[in-house]
C-alpha cells in the first residue's frame, strides 16, 4: 500500500484535466492513477483517453510516499467524485492510500477513509495504458514534420481547451507526420495526443473531397 498527501488544488487540477479526456460518451470508462517517480522525484500522475485523444498530467509530491509505488484504474464516476472532494478541500492537503490494483481510499474531514474501488477489470483493451505510454514516448522522440495539410476534428481539439495548467494556457503541437497522432503539450506538465482524420477515408465524403477542404 502507498500512502501520501497532495495539495487539494493540485489534485483538483489533475482530476479536472483527466475528465476533459473522458466525455460521457467515451468508449473508455476508466482513467489510470499512478504514484511514481519522474527524474527521481515522487509524482502523482493521471492518464485518460477516449481513443481519439489522450491526456496525461502529473503533480510533484512534497513528501516521499510511504510504501511501494502503486497504480489503479478509476471509473469516470469515481473520478468525478474525487474531483468534487479536491475542489471542496480548497487549500488543504488530502491524504490518499492506494493499494496497487486493489482500490484507493481518501481521508475525509472526520479522519475516516472513503473507499474507491479499482476498475482495472473495465479497461478495454487490457493493455490500453501501455499503448498510450508507448505512443506518447515514441512521439516525443521522433523529428517533427509539418505536412502540407492535416485534417482534424475540431471537437477533439476542444478537449485541450478545457484543461487547466500553471501559468499561461498555450497548446504546443508536435507533428510527426500526417498519419501519426499529433503530440500536444499544454503548460509545463500536461502531455497528450489527438488522432488526425484519415484523409483517404474523409475524401470519400462529397462535402470534403479527395483534396480535403482546399479543393477548388
36-69 per-position pLDDT tens digit: 999 889 999 999 999 999 999 999 998 888 887 8
DSSP code string of 88-145: HHTTSEEEEEE-TTS-EEEE-TTSPEEEE---GGG-SSTTHHHHHHHHHHHHHHSPP-
CATH homologous superfamily of 2-122 equals: DNA Polymerase III, subunit A, domain 2 (3.10.150.10)
Q: What is the 3-state secondary structure (H, E, C) of 19-47?
A: HHCCCCCCCCCEEEEEEEEECCEEEEEEE
Given this model, what pLDDT does residue 62 score? 86
Question: Residue holding cell 482495472?
Answer: 120
Q: Are 202 and 212 in contact (CB under 8 A)?
A: yes
The residue among 30, 16, 3 whose CA lies nearest residue 132 is 30
Given this model, what pLDDT does residue 147 score? 64
Calculate the alpha carbon distances from 131 to 18, 19, 65, 125 in Å.
17, 20, 27, 9
Instruction: Determine the average pLDDT of the residues in 198-205.
Output: 69
Give the 3-state secondary structure of residue 13.
helix
Residues forming beta bridges with residue 173, ordered by sequence position: 184
Side-chain-side CA neighbours of 19 within 13 Å: the count stands at 17
> What ranges in the chain are assigned the alpha helix state H?
8-20, 76-89, 128-141, 154-161, 199-202
137-161 per-position pLDDT tens digit: 998 888 777 666 778 888 898 999 9
CA distance 26 to 136: 20
* pLDDT above 50: residue 216: no
What are the sequence ranges of the domains in the chain? 2-122, 130-214
CA distance 178 to 146: 8
Q: How confident is the model at residue 214 (pLDDT cuts 50, 70, 90)?
A: low
Residues forming beta bridges with residue 182, ordered by sequence position: 194
Question: Residue holding cell 484523409?
Answer: 199
Instruction: Determine the average pLDDT of the residues in 178-185.
Output: 88
**DSSP symbol at 6:** E
CA distance 90 to 8: 6
Amino acid at each position: 500500500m502507498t500512502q501520501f498527501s497532495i495539495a487539494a488544488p493540485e489534485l483538483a487540477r489533475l482530476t479536472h484535466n483527466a475528465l476533459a479526456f473522458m466525455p460521457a460518451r467515451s468508449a473508455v470508462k476508466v482513467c489510470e492513477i499512478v504514484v511514481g517517480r519522474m527524474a527521481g522525484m515522487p509524482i502523482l500522475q493521471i492518464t485518460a483517453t477516449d481513443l481519439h485523444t489522450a491526456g496525461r498530467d502529473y503533480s510533484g509530491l512534497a513528501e516521499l510516499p510511504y510504501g511501494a509505488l502503486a497504480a489503479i484504474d478509476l471509473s469516470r464516476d469515481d473520478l468525478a467524485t474525487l474531483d468534487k472532494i479536491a475542489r471542496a478541500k480548497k487549500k488543504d492537503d488530502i491524504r490518499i492510500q492506494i493499494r496497487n490494483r486493489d482500490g484507493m481510499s481518501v481521508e475525509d474531514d472526520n479522519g475516516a477513509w472513503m473507499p474507491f474501488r479499482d476498475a482495472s477489470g473495465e479497461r478495454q483493451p487490457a493493455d490500453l495504458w501501455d499503448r498510450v505510454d508507448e505512443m506518447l514516448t515514441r512521439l516525443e522522440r521522433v523529428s517533427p514534420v509539418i505536412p502540407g495539410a492535416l485534417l482534424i476534428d475540431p471537437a477533439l481539439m476542444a478537449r485541450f481547451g478545457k484543461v487547466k495548467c500553471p501559468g499561461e494556457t498555450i497548446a504546443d503541437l508536435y507533428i510527426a507526420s500526417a498519419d501519426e497522432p499529433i503530440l500536444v503539450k499544454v503548460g509545463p506538465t500536461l502531455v497528450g495526443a489527438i488522432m488526425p482524420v484519415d484523409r483517404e477515408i474523409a475524401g470519400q465524403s462529397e462535402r470534403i473531397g479527395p483534396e480535403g477542404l482546399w479543393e477548388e
